[in-house]
Structure 1
């Protein structure tokens, strides 16, 4: 408490020494001179102060520091069960006191370097510095997608490539999209009607944090104090599910009635459908639902989709033995050989020394099989893809067209006029970056044999063709239709039998598009917050490149130091997402969609391709019903893209993670928002950030203090010996097949 009082006294003295605004430099406008878009008008300030510092030593220092921390932490937890991602909110909250501290203690002396005058401390820590720090870290919130390619080729395909090959692959797939963004920024950044709704939330967060500096917090707990209390409490608590008592994260209590009953175990076990399972582990609860930050409307759609698929469709398909699924667990991303004596499908047995499918060996081993749930998720993925485009066309098509026309007709709004003060990034910067990254991509793919040169060209064409229409959809509706299925589907037919080429093509075609739009979204945030474009460009480029090195280095370090990593024996480093990525590489690449989903070799799963048609039809049906029955309000809230995407992360996500997330979501996103709005508006997002931070801190402490030294907490009921086959949830048959058997690995 004394520290908080000292901080407040120091803040008052600091604000007297460094006044927050300069009236002579501040650009102010009339109320009428504002954005034509209401959402932007009520969220984004139409005032700019060009004198605020932004390209400062402390911005670069803190930005790269948090980039390094976020990149390491998120890659670390990505490979560990209970995936936690530290995102924008956490960085925004933690960097604020750090920035003010540096503004307090750094010397104010002026330096002259090659004619450029600068200072370690140019004045108060500004909101522009803060936004740049946040965006430097946020661009790396999700781990680099291509790291999974390096992991699976090393662990699962036993293909050794030099570290520099993987590094070039990761960097080029993450950076090439930045060059593409330069060509579309004039369509998606400057036009007022390209609003990018997510940026309104982010801008609101930063403005509220800086506005709070002048608030009177006598009657309400300051946000910083609240954050520290919640984060500290979670950091202390997480020692239980993280080390001492992991069973409390998997309380499959219904299964304990009769653990030897296979059906009961499959329905209620945490590694089965998880009906009734209780998770007292924030890492599991928040992994996929995001219960505190996902709007309740979206959660309701997710709940409906989850129940329809996980609790109705899956049991029906499994227990009626669709695709012979009783020979396999009810939920798994593992692949198997066919028949009663099924073993795990060992892809190395059907590949030659170049990693290409040997058709004779494949015929001898037996056709690839997956459980009915995994097969159905692909059909649902097909449906979700077409449903997204059809839904947006029907429900948002008119709005998109109108905003696109407005974007073309309106050269500038108030925010564009304010941004005239700052020089734009020259087109040749983007062009030069594009040429360099394309050349490096070609060298990477051809020299290290990731895929043929023509495949890279085709992947780039797909990314370029879709980037503007997908960007318009995202800028208006906050939805981003994914290209992952299109890309792996296309190259699977063009280049069957090449697993690494398949995932490489998918990454260049899909992630280059995603990164381009991610950069455009950040440029739009800079547009709203009046961040000079050149500084935003350099900050993003440097931080993204820096994070690639850390992502890949962290993954390789874990692989080299953790025995049995990415296997069940390697718990808690099970790499659930990477295992799913590997299975996709086998299905779409090593074996190919012609054999799995097509007609070649009488493809067993060909029927799931009907998902494309079903997904296109469902939004049309409900749109027509909503027009015919306009008084039926619930019809207007049926959102098929969200509903179909509900189980898109299963596997690797497990059902109990969703069900527990919904309970927490009901409390925070619905009840507290409706009945305790003042508390919710002030502390809800802060609570989510604090809980994530507490888990991350303790998770790292557990690893470096205990696990990295091969230490372990003593075995007891709450900490079963998983290395000897014990089940953490005390439901040993939850991931067995219908006959209570476990598939064995096929020997090479």
Structure 2
């Protein structure tokens, strides 16, 4: 008798709850248990309520492995900072590789100890454990970021021919990365301990670590066809690894699949509206998983819909209208999305011609010439940034203020506090004094750096920047922890400094970096502290691991920046077009453009209330008013979930792409609706069992591909290893050897006709 494998597959899916007609049945079976658990459903499903306090996180293996992956992560992430695609160094790659290395070291290292003074540490304290493993990942993730201070160093190097010395650069990077530590220490009771502060990305890692270490809660869970969690992971990770070579290497056209452009490939209006390359990307597709991301599979549906709604509103509706009607001179500057400055006739504005030797604005020279203008869509980006910031504060106060106040009181020690907070009380806390001393030291070093290395920012200006960070970190981090989305402080900080120190672009960039990074780094540290909370890592071990990763990341961010700028300077500063389409200075150009607008020229000049862009200040009023209106409606019509309509997230989506390309919106929305609407609502049993491990598998596979291409096929280790892919329709070459002209305005997906002279 033949065996029907499709029947087995259906049986497995039924067992997993995929055909469960009542999505609540699964929870009624598993959640009606006397064991105390989190009141947040997603946390209840994936975070174990068990702990082994005997496990040690800081070991000799931790120091060795975390250093290795922190170096790789810092280099790769800085590399992607200058790439046209927004790939990243996946923490899941670190988790996999460090797990293997940890297991090997546990077998081969001797059991003796090493001593440094009175301190000794065992070389091999026993089996490689889950807390040790998680702390390695946390240290590596702390290092694996493109430090925001790199924007300052890159901009001054590329556009002002001024390279700050190595010591000054490292001090700038380290202090901007570390000022958030003291804030995180103070705010942890409010933004880590309450159950509502989920920090969604951590749930994927909790599943991943427990699956790899086969903990009790995960040992009994079997995937489809009886697979273990790790077998399921490796199958999908391997599949994505192989697949990603197509968009990332062999066919870059699949990253920017602007299919509507092919209807009229030589029409500039089609390019501006439908192309992903400096256009609106309307209905554009992307078959590159790094443009979609696993977060679309688990972030709250309402938050994602608000975000995508903002993108559609700004780039798919408003941008085409403004371009076709030439509103505010949108067509005059040649492309709808650009951060560069122009004269009124659309020719490029060169700031160098009106700067003094100390890089401040020479007002006499500027006033003698024509005024500078920005692209209208770039100005609207400032408007939406103000809406997002004001909307975040207003929304948190209106819809979460009462609950957060109650939760914070619980975090201070009431009997109703979160189960995971109760479990962490077995470990000694990091004294507030540690965080306070650390903060004061970093602030002092920051003042020293600004004064010694000519960053134009006086000591009192730096203090104002840090105070702004303190004032706005709480609402921003609260929204991020609850929804997965939150605004930044980059725009408000440059606005404040523009009024305080007009005519000083370097001071403006520095002020923004310290003010913004105080919040941003605090947010990253709080997220890691929440992961440590879920994994039951001792707080003092967390403190050491986070600072260790930050220190390593700063050093190798700087080294990578120097190497890339020296080799790709003409492409990054915009004086030469990259024939491969893979290198871009767009992020640095945007940062520098903001510095010119707010710093050299000043907001009083660029955003005068009676001027062309005075409307941007309406963003504060709109952002503050909308949540209040919605809150009032929620009182009158309580059956409607008005809090799901989040103006801050919508505005964040509207300003999501000033630094790069509008890529992957439609496929991301499709993935979101499949997993977060259809499967979560109608097949919740399947969702809770598979979605987090599947998300991590796909992200890891794509990250592996990017790493292999960078190191071995893209010349990362040696230019001799660089591979030239043959020309075909998805990787088009011109007769001169230039690659990927499909990104140019005169092609938009087709070959350039003879004699055609269009261009930007």
User: TM-score when scaled to structure 1?
Assistant: 0.85
Q: What is residue 598 of structure 1 aligned with on the other side? A: 608
Q: What is residue 569 of structure 1 aligned with on the other side? A: 577
1:314 and 2:314 aligned: no
Matches for 1:221-300 after TM superposition, within 5 Å: 221-271=227-277, 272-286=279-293, 290-300=295-305
**Most deviating of 562-571 and 63-72:** 562-571
Q: What is residue 663 of structure 1 aligned with on the other side? A: 670
Cα shift readout 1:165-205 (whole Å, capped 9, x = no counterpart): 11110011001221333344455555677665655554344
1:507 and 2:488 aligned: no
**Most deviating of 303-312 and 679-688:** 679-688
Contact 2:73 2:89 in 1 (8 A): yes
How many Å apart are 1:113 and its aligned residue? 5.8
Counterpart-to-counterpart distance in 1, 2:195 and 2:249:
51
Cα distance change on mapping 1:270 and 1:34 into 2, 3 Å: closer
Q: What is residue 21 of structure 1 aligned with on the other side? A: none
Q: What is residue 592 of structure 2 aligned with on the other side? A: 582
Contact 1:283 1:695 in 2 (8 A): no
**Structure 1 counterpart of 2:503, from 497, 504, 525:** 497
Counterpart-to-counterpart distance in 2, 1:581 and 1:723:
32
Cα distance change on mapping 1:665 and 1:527 into 2, 3 Å: closer
Matches for 1:514-529 after TM superposition, within 5 Å: 514-529=520-535
* Count of aligned residue pairs for this structure pair: 705
Q: Which runs of 5+ in 2 are unaligned?
A: 1-32
Matches for 1:140-219 after TM superposition, within 5 Å: 140-186=143-189, 188-189=191-192, 199-200=202-203, 202-210=205-213, 211=215, 212=218, 219=225
**Most deviating of 378-387 and 229-238:** 229-238
Q: What is residue 697 of structure 2 aligned with on the other side? A: 686
Aligned to 1:655, what secondary structure does the other structure show?
coil
Aligned to 1:704, what secondary structure does the other structure show?
coil
Counterpart-to-counterpart distance in 2, 1:476 and 1:682:
21
Aligned to 2:339, what secondary structure does the other structure show?
coil
1:464 and 2:465 aligned: no
**Most deviating of 81-90 and 369-378:** 81-90
Counterpart-to-counterpart distance in 2, 1:94 and 1:603:
56
Cα shift readout 1:478-531 (whole Å, capped 9, x = no counterpart): 554532222111001111111111011011112122223432343343344332
Contact 2:340 2:589 in 1 (8 A): no
Q: Which runs of 5+ in 1 are unaligned?
A: 1-30, 744-748
**Structure 1 counterpart of 2:633, from 598, 601, 625:** 625
Cα distance change on mapping 1:538 and 1:703 into 2, 3 Å: same
**Structure 2 counterpart of 1:719, from 732, 736, 752:** 732
Counterpart-to-counterpart distance in 1, 2:348 and 2:744:
24
**Structure 1 counterpart of 2:615, from 598, 607, 615:** 607
How many Å apart are 1:701 and its aligned residue? 2.6
Cα distance change on mapping 1:223 and 1:68 into 2, 3 Å: farther
Counterpart-to-counterpart distance in 1, 2:569 and 2:516:
32
Cα distance change on mapping 1:670 and 1:97 into 2, 3 Å: farther
Cα shift readout 1:367-409 (whole Å, capped 9, x = no counterpart): 2222221111211111111111122222212211222333346
How many Å apart are 1:290 and its aligned residue? 4.6
1:701 and 2:712 aligned: yes
How many Å apart are 1:42 and its aligned residue? 6.0
Contact 2:309 2:650 in 1 (8 A): yes
Counterpart-to-counterpart distance in 1, 2:228 and 2:437:
47
Counterpart-to-counterpart distance in 2, 1:192 and 1:656:
34
Cα shift readout 1:654-700 (whole Å, capped 9, x = no counterpart): 23432232234334444454455354354233223322332332243
Contact 1:255 1:731 in 2 (8 A): no
Matches for 1:470-485 after TM superposition, within 5 Å: 470-471=476-477, 480-485=486-491
How many Å apart are 1:603 and its aligned residue? 2.8
Counterpart-to-counterpart distance in 2, 1:466 and 1:712:
48
**Most deviating of 539-548 and 159-168:** 159-168
Counterpart-to-counterpart distance in 1, 2:235 and 2:468:
48
How many Å apart are 1:71 and its aligned residue? 1.2
Q: What is residue 305 of structure 1 aligned with on the other side? A: 310
Q: What is residue 19 of structure 2 aligned with on the other side? A: none
Q: What is residue 21 of structure 2 aligned with on the other side? A: none
Aligned to 1:153, what secondary structure does the other structure show?
helix
